[in-house]
Chains A and B, each alone.
Chain A
Amino acid sequence: MSSYEARFQVWRGDEQGGGLEDFTVEVNDGEVVLDIVHRLQATQAPDLAVRWNCKAGKCGSCSAEINGRPRLMCMTRMSVFDRAETVTITPLRAFPVIRDLVTDVGFNYEKAREVPAFVPPSGLGPGEYRMFQEDVDRAQEFRKCIECFLCQNTCHVVRDHEENKQAFAGPRYLMRVAELDMHPLDAAAETGLERSRTAQDDHGLGYCNITKCCTEVCPEGIRITDNALIPLKERAVDRKYDPLVWLGAKIRRRPAEGRAPAGD
């Protein structure tokens, strides 16, 4: 067990502005960046604002940018840095700062509300759902998402283009559309809701030019681009340009239009 003094720079401030503050702080074997932030709170800066919960990479609360890279502080071990290196922690850049490392992530919650919920199949009661593992595998991958919003933060469509936020749901919520689209029993289509089409028309899928930045930062290793966004683009294109698919969708949709959505 060996400990050393590390140099840190932590962004401190609020919506009015702020800057990097220097700290020298003890680091012990096996520690992660979040341990160091906690030590700063306990010994040098009791009012240093930071979000965290589980400290085990499961809740997605402690997202920040460490040396400019979007990461979870609880899953970034100090051993990945050179001991002489100064470690810089800044808040997520795509969201407005509230205080220190805490940002206003309300954008994500707004976008979550804009994705229509799962539509239960009519005629199947609780306990009657039958799905096969190979059919739920794809959607389950997306449900591993811990909503750390690192993908939302890193996506260049919004990272430096505030104006795109209105029209673009971001990788996390496009993936949510893909997840529902791939759910074996989602009955949205029967109510006239074509999920892949809404991805294009309502959630800004067209802005995505598959640079895979979202996939690279995902702490859960979800292949967002390859497994969610690209298939969604393919399906959206099929619907849009294939006259037969288009016609089929139209015909299927008509009888359902007068019907209330299934469920409660």
Chain B
Amino acid sequence: MAAVERQQWDVVVVGAGGAGLRAAIEARERGARTAVICKSLFGKAHTVMAEGGIAAAMANANEHDTWQVHFRDTLRGGKFLNQWRMAELHAQEAPDRVWELETWGALFDRTKDGRISQRNFGGHEYPRLAHVGDRTGLELIRTLQQKTVALQQEDFRETGDYESRLKVFQECTVTRILKDTASDSGSAAGRVSGVFAYDRETGRFFVLEAPAVVLATGGIGKSFKVTSNSWEYTGDGHALALLAGAPLLNMEFVQFHPTGMVWPPSVKGILVTESVRGDGGVLRNSEGKRFMFDYVPDVFKEKYAESEEEADRWYEDPDRNRRPPELLPRDEVARAINAEVKAGRGSPHGGVFLDVSTRMPAEVIRRRLPSMYHQFKELADVDITAEAMEVGPTCHYVMGGVAVDSDTAAARGVPGLYAAGEVAGGMHGSNRLGGNSLSDLLVFGRRAGWHAAEYARALAGRRPPVDDVQVDAAAAEALRPFSAEAGGDGETVSPENPYTLHQELQQAMNDLVGIIRREGEMEQALHKLAELRARARRAGVEGHRQFNPGWHLALDLRNMLLVSECVARAALERTESRGGHTREDHPAMDRAWRNVNLLCTLADPAGGLAAADPARGQIRLARETTEPIRPDLLALFEKEELVKYLAEEELYE
């Protein structure tokens, strides 16, 4: 048996972005000894890249804003597929979560009367996003990081050890959730008993024993070629949950942000914040036309301006004019850009033009959008105060994720497992509104930390034991890439380069399960995934275990392949277009699909991958009917609007 160091904690949080840190702070404040594990250095998580703001109905910029309006906007944005209780809690609690950040030292931009300033964003009826220029994510992560340090300073004063109650294991990766065996727990599924991880710096394995684990690992964008996501976004938490026996919800919904950079090639996909449009930027095609007026879908017709004049008046007088169509939800704008480019009206490098230079004075642009000014100046030689940007869709966010209980963030089916933030599904339905991510992280990060701490406390003294067999199996799995050359089945086959496999996966997902989907292409994608799965078992690495990126990538491939299969299978199954899932062969939204969730589970309930049939794949798909939306929440909408979304029988219940 491998000699693996073990430590005991009450709660282990996987991921140190907004959701992970908020969960860890909450768990520690509720008395749980809490460990945070993150793949990067502390303070570098992907949350840092969030630009526009945190959506919360504080009503600082428009007194009419309330949680009910925010809830309505969120459901419209998600095309009514949202797990409505999550959307309700999110809208109700977001203001408190933002204000709380101020008490931890955050410095948001201010209104004239000294309150937190709020800006306009796509799909939000009122200016709602608390922000700091266009670097809100940095402020969020730094504030949570500094709050974590503040708690460690408290612990140091009491115990003489900064890390006695809250420790960050930075540059470490979790590869398996450990569970007790059926005989220990008395339940077939087994309860969480800890995590198996390796230290990236040394390559050393270790086990953190804990009855409660919070997944807060973010998204899956690194399975796509053009993405705004960082290397960390390899779907780790999604895969860990699947392997532990928990289902993933609605994985077909992947958000393509309408505005990523398109040139030069090396920066293709890097995000251009929606604040550019929120603050007045407009989209034009190669003919100079503001094309978004042609793309307002029926469900949103009454809410968006029909002329440029009305749209322009809205910025000054929002009560008597309708908003510009550039501020439609992201899925609508991304599809429109895609269609313009396809029709031959794109920009020289295959995007469209996003212009603020003719809309605002140069100094206002530099003050409100400093990062964008810097990013285009440095990386593309474009001065956005003088010329238009070229932008196009980029894979940005996954709405699908671990199926969770709305109130507790507990993963379905695996006692002790929790999920919060992007890795959790349900909250955003089929499409997330801008600004709702940072608030989601805070609201559900806190809830996950809270309930994980309570669950762990209830198990004090009878913690589920760690199964040595699982630890050995996890160690063998992690070491596999070093012995790949031997060939798994006695054959002599040359090892595969993990970088090559990754590039092929990204190309396949981009081309075959991207922004516009077709049945034949998705079937082709499933075949390609089966081939890549087989080859990935031969992914080999050079060198040794100390800080070896090739090895790390070889291990991350397992997760990307699992998650990609979920996306492709669910996308093939859902024969309609809704939010972040657009089928060319089924272009309309179908009310019969409104209350259908698609659940992905691992084909082998024991968490094994080796035996999976290459053609049938590793994932099983099931449909379930969603819980009806509570009547008092439905009553927030006009009947005329509901008929566009809900099936007949839902309306008359």
Q: Flag whether B375 is at the interface (Cβ < 8 A).
A: yes
* Contact B499 A132, beta carbon cutoff 8 Å: no
- A130 interface residue (CB < 8 Å to B): yes
Q: From residue 71 to 121 of chain A, which have CB atoms closer than 8 A to chain B?
A: 75, 77, 98-100, 102, 105, 109, 112-113, 116-118, 120
- Given the known interface contacts A49-B549, A53-B44, the answer about A113 and B162 at a Cβ–Cβ threshold of 8 Å is yes
B379 an interface residue at 8 Å Cβ cutoff? yes
A46 to chain B, nearest CB (A): 3
In whole angstroms, what is the CA distance A46 to B138 when docked? Answer: 31
Residue of B149, B267, B550 near A117 (CB, 8 A) is: B149
Residue among B100, B107, B117, B133 with max Cβ neighbours from chain A (10 Å) = B107
Residues of A within 8 A of B117 (CB): 133
* CB neighbours of B48 from chain A (8 A): 53-54, 58-59, 146
14 of the cross-chain contacts (CB-CB < 8 Å) are: A46-B499, A48-B549, A52-B231, A55-B230, A57-B374, A57-B375, A59-B230, A99-B546, A105-B41, A132-B114, A133-B110, A136-B110, A140-B109, A140-B132
- Which A residue sits closest to B380, measured CB to CB? A30
**Which 4 A-B pairs rank lowest in CB-CB distance, beginning with the nearest?**
A30-B264, A118-B105, A47-B543, A117-B150
Of B103, B110, B270, the contact of A56 (CB 8 Å cutoff)? B270
Collect the chain B residues with CB atoms within 8 Å of residue A99's CB. 201, 546-547
Q: Which residues of A contact B (CB under 8 A)?
A: 14, 28-32, 35, 41-43, 46-61, 75, 77, 98-100, 102, 105, 109, 112-113, 116-118, 120, 126-127, 129-133, 136, 139-140, 143-147, 180, 183, 186, 263-264
Judged by a CB distance under 8 angstroms, whether B573 is at the interface is no
Q: Which residue of B lies closest to A263 (CB)?
A: B103
Give Cα distance in the complex from A41 to B497, angstroms. 11
Whether the Cβ atoms of A46 and B549 lie closer than 8 Å is yes
Chain B interface category by residue count: 35 or more
Instruction: Report B's interface with A, CB cutoff 8 A.
Output: 29, 40-44, 46, 48-49, 58, 95-96, 99-100, 102-105, 107, 109-110, 113-115, 117, 132-133, 135, 137-139, 142, 146-147, 149-150, 152-153, 156, 162, 201, 230-232, 263-267, 270-271, 371, 374-375, 378-380, 497-500, 503, 541-544, 546-551
Closest to B263 in A: A30
Complex Cα distance, B109 from A133, in Å, reads: 7
Partner of B267 from the list A56, A118, A140, A146 (CB cut-off 8 Å) is A56
In the bound complex, residues from chain A placing their C-beta under 8 Å from that of B113 are 130
In the complex, what distance in Å separates the CA atom of A53 from the CA atom of B232? 7
Nearest CB of chain A from residue B528's CB, rounded to whole Å: 20
Q: Is the CB of B230 within 8 A of A126?
A: no
Q: State the Cβ distance, B273 to closest chain A Cβ, in Å.
A: 11
Q: Smallest CB–CB gap between A132 and chain B, Å?
A: 5
Establish whether residues B107 and A32, one from each chain, have CB atoms under 8 Å apart when the complex forms. Answer: no
User: A49 CA to B543 CA in the complex, in Å?
Assistant: 11
* B49 contact from A59, A75, A264, Cβ within 8 A: A59
CB distance from B450 to the nearest CB of A (A): 15
Q: How far is the CA of A237 from the CA of B555 in the complex (A)?
A: 55
CA distance A132 to B116 in the complex (A): 9
User: Please, which residue of chain A has its CB at the minimum distance from the CB of B99?
Assistant: A126
Which of B104, B375, B500 sits near A118, CB closer than 8 Å? B104
Residue of A nearest to B51 (CB): A58
Chain B residues with CB under 8 A of A43? 499
Residues from chain A with Cβ under 8 Å of B135 in the complex: 58, 144
Of B139, B266, B547, which is within 8 A of A30 by CB?
A: B266
For B46, list chain A residues within 8 Å (CB): 53-54
CA distance A74 to B266 in the complex (A): 10
- Whether B549 and A50, one on each chain, are in contact in the complex, defined by CB atoms closer than 8 angstroms, is yes
A143 to B150 CA separation, bound complex (whole angstroms): 17
A47–B550 contact, CB under 8 A? yes
Contacting residue for B99 out of A32, A41, A127, A136, CB 8 A: A127
Are the C-beta atoms of B107 and A117 separated by less than 8 Å? no
